[in-house]
Structure 1
Amino acid sequence: MKIFKNIFLVILMIGALESCVVSKKPNMDFFSNSGYDFKGAKFTSFNVPMLLAKPYIKKALKEDGESEELINLVKKISKIKVLTVENGSKEMLKDYARYLNDNHYEDWATIKHDGDNVNVRVKQTGDAIKNMLITVNSDKELVFVDVKGSFTADDISRMISAVSDK
């Protein structure tokens, strides 16, 4: 019986580590399926293995003195995808925003921090928010974070307030 348990743990760890593979291909719909001409933009993408990331994120938030309420939001996250784009254009960012509007994402907040713009958009069905997209726009680099989970509007508002206060 112990051998089966060990085999299961090994398979689980391989699966978790495999999902953390870094790729030069985009992992988000607009960038990977649109046929859009990105004009020399360079992509780096990866999926964050939540099994490994949640304990690390919680520990970092506790060390930073964040509230228990914000730390509990991490439990509601089921999947995170990150995409960085070098040499992205403002036109590409505008087309991405149009794509999100066409796909029923609502603009919830834009936060300016040290010359960077952070934009939060959510896709809401009734009271449930299953998807949140965070865009960080600096001079020549763009970062897109796709967070899937089960959130309420109150959860997202608390998160935005916590970040805005700092």
Structure 2
Amino acid sequence: MKITRDDRPEDFLRLEQLLYGNNYCVWVNVYGPLDASQSLADALTHAVSRDSVVGGAKDVSVSEVQEQVMELLLHPGDEGSGPVDLATKLDEITLLAEKLMQTAHVHEADDIKAFWFKKGHPAYPVFWEFAYDVHAQGKRWILVGSSSD
């Protein structure tokens, strides 16, 4: 028997629980603080997965990150998959999404890059995914989320 311990913050686990649904689950995490002087590839290999390979990256603004994270977390799905009773949980989901972005220091960022994993994603993205390399206060945080079936 394999026992796995999930050390992510309770707020992340609660957010995933609220977004669970029919043939649908969400996974989120923040890695950091990490050394901002490392390359993104080195930071991912050290903190996320030894198999991590970046497929590409582009500069994004704080507002773009906030909008995309909220849009994806509030993805309603379709008849066969999606969060159950999303509208009734909207306030708590919004609060927890804000805490997720605070943990990643999105609001304080000096520089943010959206990137995608060519290999080594820490979860199993099916419907949507996001990954951001956030630089703030001389440190780096990696914000990752995805949904799957």
Whether the TM-score (by the shorter chain) exceeds 0.5 is no
Specify the TM-score bucket, using the shorter chain as the normaliser. Answer: under 0.3
Higher relative contact order (CA 8 A, sep 6+): 2
Find the structure with the greater CA-based Rg. 1
Q: Provide TM-score, normalisation by structure 2.
A: 0.26
Q: Provide TM-score, normalisation by structure 1.
A: 0.24
Higher share of residues assigned helix: 1
